[in-house]
């Protein structure tokens, strides 16, 4: 399959070619493609398989083993809730329940409007201000259920 130069996958060939000869190249290739494109498209899986002389099923097996790899475009806002001990002791479990109910999704899912996805993370390195969440690259602390809703409303308004 040919990848169009102007498509988001146009740099996939370059990424694969630049890393394919390194020992254990599959994970670095997958990370680089996801960083560049935001996800690993089926066309990219096919190209990786051909260039690494593996089957698409083998590549997909690695992708599905690591939950941080995506095979579809990401949500506009990626929400991560910290599940480390310090955040749990400060209410992150209750926040998880509220977030899932408020967004009407479970972990590793995306809202129907593709605006929010929800994932767990084990320690955001901000234990003194738990429970913590991260939305894309921004960290928020002392998140109550009410503050969660407020933060989501504000980030969506700010980035429009």
* Positions at the binding site: 82, 87, 123, 127
Is the link from the previous residue into 38 a cis peptide, with omega within 30 of 0? Answer: no
Cα 112–Cα 113–Cα 117 angle in degrees, nearest 5: 70
Could you tell me if 76 and 117 are in contact, meaning their C-beta atoms sit under 8 angstroms apart? no
- Joined together, the tokens standing for residue 155 give 């980030």
Binding-site annotation: residue ranges for [2Fe-2S] cluster = 82, 87, 123, 127
- Nearest CA to 83 out of 98, 69, 96, 101 is that of 96
Helices 42-52, 26-37: crossing angle, 10 deg rounding: 150
């Amino acid at each position: 399959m040919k990848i169009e130069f102007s498509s988001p996958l146009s740099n996939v060939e370059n990424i694969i070619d630049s890393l394919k000869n390194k020992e254990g190249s599959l994970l670095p290739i997958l990370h680089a493609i996801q960083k560049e494109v935001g996800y690993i498209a089926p066309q990219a899986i096919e190209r990786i398989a051909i260039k690494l002389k593996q089957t698409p099923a083998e590549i997909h097996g690695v992708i599905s083993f690591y939950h941080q790899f995506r095979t579809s475009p990401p949500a506009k806002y990626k929400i991560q809730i910290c599940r480390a001990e310090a955040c749990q002791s400060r209410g992150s479990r209750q926040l998880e329940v509220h977030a899932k109910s408020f967004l009407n999704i479970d972990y590793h899912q995306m809202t129907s409007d593709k605006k929010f996805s929800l994932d767990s993370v084990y320690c955001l390195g901000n234990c003194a201000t738990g429970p913590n969440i991260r939305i894309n690259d921004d960290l928020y602390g002392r998140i109550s259920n009410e503050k969660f809703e407020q933060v989501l409303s504000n980030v969506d308004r700010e980035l429009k």
